Structure 1
Amino acid sequence: MTDVLVQAAPPAELLASRASDPYPYFRWLREHAPVFAERKRDGRTIWHISRHDDVRALLGDERLSKNPDTVPGYRPGPEGLNKHLVHADPPEHTRLRRLVSTAFLPRRIAALEPFVQHTAEDLLDRLDPDTGVDLIGEFALPLTFTLICTILGVPEHLNTPTTRTMLTNTVVPTAGQRTDARLRTFLTELIAHKRHHPTGELDLLGALVGAREQLTEEELLGTAYLLLLVGHDTTVNLIGNGLLALLRHPDQLQALRADPALIGTGLEELLRYDSPVRDATFRVATEPIRLHGRLIQPGDIVSLLIGSANRDPSHFPDPDRLDLTRNPNDHLAFGRGPHFCIGAALSRMEGALAVNLVLHRLGEIRLAAPDHELRWRPSRVMRGLESLPVTSR
Structure 2
Amino acid sequence: MNMNESSQPEFFTREFTQNPYPVYENLRKNNPIYKVMFPSGEFGWIITRYEDAVEILKDSRLSKDVAKRYGAENQSIFVNNMLFSDPPDHRRLRGLVQKAFTPKWIAGMRDHIQTIADNLLDQLESKDQMNLIDDFAFPLPIIVISEILGVPLEDQDKFRMWSNTIIDATSSEHAEMFEQHAQEFIEYLNAWFDKVRKEPGNDLISQLVVAEEAGEKLTENELLGVVALLIIAGHETTVNLIGNGILALLEHPSQRDLLIEQPELIHQAIEEMLRYNGPVEFSTSRWALEEIQFRDQFISQGELVIVALDSANRDEQQFPDADVFDITREKSPHLAFGKGIHLCLGAPLARLEGEIAVMTLLRRFPNMQLQADVHQLEWRPGMIVRGVKEIPLQL
Q: What per-residue deviation string (whole Å, max 9, x for no partner) do you get for residues 262-307 of structure 1?
A: 1011111110000111101111111222223111111000011100
Say whether 1:22 aligns with 2:20.
Answer: yes
* Structure 1 residue 308 displacement after superposition: 0.2
What corresponds to 2:319 in structure 1? 316
Q: Is this contact kept in 2: 1:8–1:32, CA < 8 A?
A: no
Instruction: Name the SS for the 2:18 alignment partner.
Output: coil
**Correspondence 1:104 to 2:101:** yes
- Aligned pairs for 1:1-393 (under 5 A) are 8-12=6-10, 15-39=13-37, 44-72=42-70, 79-128=76-125, 131-158=128-155, 160-173=156-169, 174-175=173-174, 176-200=178-202, 203-212=203-212, 213=215, 214-392=217-395
Gaps of 5+ in 2: none
TM-score (norm 2): 0.92
The change in CA–CA distance for 1:156 and 1:16 in structure 2 (over 3 A counts) is closer
Q: Deviations over 1:323-381 (max 9, x none)?
A: 00101311001111100000010001000010011011123001011112211111201
CA distance in 2, matches of 1:117, 1:231: 17
Q: Which AA in structure 2 matches 1:25?
A: V
Question: What are the superposed Cα offsets for residues 178-237 of structure 1, whole Å, 9 maximum, x if unpaired?
Answer: 41111111111121122123222xx11110000111110000000010000001110111
Give the Cα–Cα distance (whole angstroms) in 2 for the partners of residues 145 and 314 of structure 1.
37
- Kept in 2, the 8 Å contact 1:309–1:332? The answer is yes
8 Å CA contact 2:168, 2:384 repeated in 1 = no
Distance in 1 separating the partners of 2:74 and 2:24: 23
Assess, with a 3 A threshold, how the Cα gap between structure 1 residues 16 and 154 changes in structure 2: closer, same or farther. Answer: closer
Amino acid at match of 1:190: W
**What are the superposed Cα offsets for residues 128-171 of structure 1, whole Å, 9 maximum, x if unpaired?**
4853101111101111000001111113333x323322222211
Quick check: 264-273 or 7-16, which moved more? Answer: 7-16
Once residues 200 and 145 of structure 2 are traced to their aligned partners in structure 1, the CA distance between those partners, rounded to angstroms, is: 16
User: Unaligned regions of 5+ residues in structure 1, if any?
Assistant: 1-6
Asked if the contact 2:10/2:23 (under 8 Å) is kept, the reply is no
What secondary structure sits across from 2:367 in the alignment?
coil
**Larger deviation: 91-100 or 174-183?**
174-183
Identity of aligned residues (%): 38
Cα distance change on mapping 1:18 and 1:181 into 2, 3 Å:
same
Q: One-letter code of the match for 2:158?
A: T
Report the more deviating stretch, 297-306 or 10-19: 10-19
Whether contact under 8 Å (2:64, 2:84) holds in the other structure is: yes
Letter in 2 for 1:31: K
TM-score, structure 1 normalization: 0.92
Distance 1:134 1:93 in 2: 38
- Tell me how many residue pairs correspond in the alignment: 382
